[in-house]
Structure 1
Amino acid sequence: MTAPLYQLKAEFFKTLGHPVRIRVLELLSEREYAVAEMLPEVGIEPAHLSQQLAVLRRANLVVTRREGSTVYYSLTSPEVAELLIVARRILTGVLSGQAELLADLRAAAPEEKPPGTALS
């Protein structure tokens, strides 16, 4: 029996649930990268980057190409880049709404006194 689609989607989003993996996918949305080129961009140890790339490979989000001793990574589909763009739009809307709410709260709040001072 196959897993329900909602479970597969949850596993997919778990794969995306690490900042380094998101950063790698963002980089690969621009172009193909060699591992050595990615290291300064993500700012982690080579072994840690290798682990995160392995997770992305197992999830079939990235593919590799070898040229001599250099391994290049690229996205398996341009839809991965589109997903990151949509996520940015969603976050922009959410954060915009939160900024408006914060402004409303600040405008409606009575003037606050510093801690330890008596209210008059």
Structure 2
Amino acid sequence: MKYLFLLSFIFTCNISFANLYLQTEYQEGNKPKIITKQHIFLDKRYPIFYTKKSYVLILKKINGDEATIESESYNVDKIGHKTMQGGSFGTYKIGKHFTLTDHAPNGDQLFSLKVILEKIVPTKP
């Protein structure tokens, strides 16, 4: 009963002592997907590096079964220098996903990063 009360408390109030497990699926053009699992904490910058792109995910807030995430996208040249390309900010449901994509002027998809929010994990305050 005590455990059930704790779970209901976690999912009904603003959680400031939790972290998030997520899965990313990166695809460059028609190349095979690169699938990784990530574990991110509140207000920490979590960089994800690939050969031509770099992303930063920042978990801003967890409220009930929703997570607010800020993302930044960078282009990476052959030397390794990064140039900011864009960013987004949104609130997403746990168990769902969002996708960051880059398109060529003709409409072809160049890069995509699909972020699947797997689960919230409570941590000690």
The normalised TM-score by structure 1 is 0.22
Structure with the largest fraction of strand: 2
Q: Which has the higher contact order (CA 8 A, sep 6+)?
A: 2
What is the TM-score normalised by the length of structure 2?
0.22
Structure of greater Rg? 1
| Structure with the higher helix share, 1 or 2 | 1
